[in-house]
Amino acid sequence: MRSIRLEPLFSMAEMELRRLRHDPFEIITRAVQPILWVAVFGSVMAKIRAFPSVGDYVSFITPGVILQSSTFISLAYGIALIFERESGILKKLLTSPIPRSYVVVGRALAGSVRASTQYVIVLASAAVLGAKIISNPLNLITGYLVLVLACMGFTGLSILIASLLRTRERFMGIIGAITMPLFFASNALYPIEVMPDVIKYVSLANPLTYTVSALRKLLVSNSYDILQETLILTCFTVLAIGAAVKNLRRIIE
């Protein structure tokens, strides 16, 4: 009984994977930028020893750079719902027997699956470029699951923004305005200690910080002390998806 009820959720993630198989272009182009971050920015900063406290800098920024490209993909995912709103897909999904929340949770999972492809690409490239990544499969898999959880939250946030703004132009404007600041006001590129106070507070309220922190512990320091991060990310994801479910009605009015 349970598996029957959950299948519609997973089928949306399956749909996303099938789309990726037909057209992997976005995933590959999205990976170029993070690879350059690691290769150019990472190597330069490592050479000048800008942040001596963090140890090997290339390893340090690898989790941050994974998040950079995967949050961008997650946050842009809402545009798919705006397209589907203009097409008939959303109308059809909302008249099918599945509950409305499934549409949001399923799509959040789908967006997260798409975004988390960056994990593999960036980790592999970083390893080639000399990052010292813990190779224990358990760490790698746990890291992936943490990333999926966080990306579901960011996709949920994106769906929420799409529901509220409803046009491509407004959506792209807002997403363009928030993604870079979100990235820079986090611990993705530098440790929180070196930030000015204001940015420090912003970054402590930034879910990206906790995702990067968890991945850094798992993949660089080989530590499983990620309970706090996981709890915070779970709250963020539940809140974002909950708000998106509550506001989905607006996208179809």
Partner 1 sequence: MKAIEVRDLVKVYGHEVRALDGVSLDVEGSTVHALLGPNGAGKTTLIRVITTQLKPNSGYARVFGYDVTKESSEVRSLIGYVPQEVSLWSDLSGYENMLMYSKIYGIPREIRRRRIEELLDFIGLSEASGRLVRTYSGGMIRRLEIAIALMRNPRLLILDEPTIGLDPGARSLVWDKISEFRRENGVTVFFATHYMDEADKYADYVTLLNQGRVVSHGTPNELKRHVEGNKVLITLKNNTDSSRLSEVLSSVPGVAISSFDNNCLELVISDVPTRLPAILEKIFVSGYSVSEVKIREATLDEVFIKLTGRRISDESGRMKEVVSVRKMIRRGG
What type of residue is 66?
A: I
Q: Which helix (H) or strand (E) holds 107?
A: helix 100-115
Instruction: Mark residues 28-67: x for contact with partner 1 by CB under 8 A, - for none.
Output: ----------------------------------------
Shortest Cβ distance from residue 10 to partner 1 (Å)? Answer: 8
Shortest Cβ distance from residue 22 to partner 1 (Å)? Answer: 6
Half-sphere exposure of 61 (CA within 13 A, CB side): 27
Q: Which is nearer to partner 1, 91 or 141 (CB)?
A: 91
3-class SS letters over 11-72:
HHHHHHHHHHHHCCHHHHHHHHHHHHHHHHHHHHHHHHCCCHHHCCHHHHHHHHHHHHHHHH
Shortest Cβ distance from residue 82 to partner 1 (Å)? Answer: 13
Q: Taking Cα atoms as reference points, which of 174, 239, 244 lies closest to residue 205? A: 239
| Tally of helices (H runs) and strands (E runs) in the chain | 13, 0
Q: Where does this chain touch partner 1 (CB under 8 A) — which range of 1-9, 37-45, 53-61, 225-233? A: 1-9
- For the record, the structure tokens of 251 come out as 């996208």
Single out the residue of 32, 36, 89, 177 in contact with partner 1 (rule: CB under 8 A).
89
Site for partner 1 in 97-126 (CB under 8 A): 97-99
- For the record, the structure tokens of 2 come out as 């349970």
Shortest Cβ distance from residue 92 to partner 1 (Å)? Answer: 4
Q: Which is nearer to partner 1, 170 or 200 (CB)?
A: 170
Single out the residue of 49, 52, 88, 205 in contact with partner 1 (rule: CB under 8 A).
88
Shortest Cβ distance from residue 14 to partner 1 (Å)? Answer: 7
Instruction: Tell me how far apart the alpha carbons of residues 122 and 143 are, in angstroms, rounded to a whole number.
Output: 13
Single out the residue of 39, 129, 174, 252 in contact with partner 1 (rule: CB under 8 A).
252
- Determine, following the binding rule CB under 8 A, whether residue 11 of this chain makes contact with partner 1: yes
Q: Which is nearer to partner 1, 103 or 160 (CB)?
A: 103
Cα separations in angstroms, 208 against 23, 39, 101, 161: 28, 22, 24, 18
Residues in contact with partner 1 by CB under 8 A are 4-5, 7-8, 11-12, 14-15, 18-19, 22-23, 86-89, 91-99, 252-253
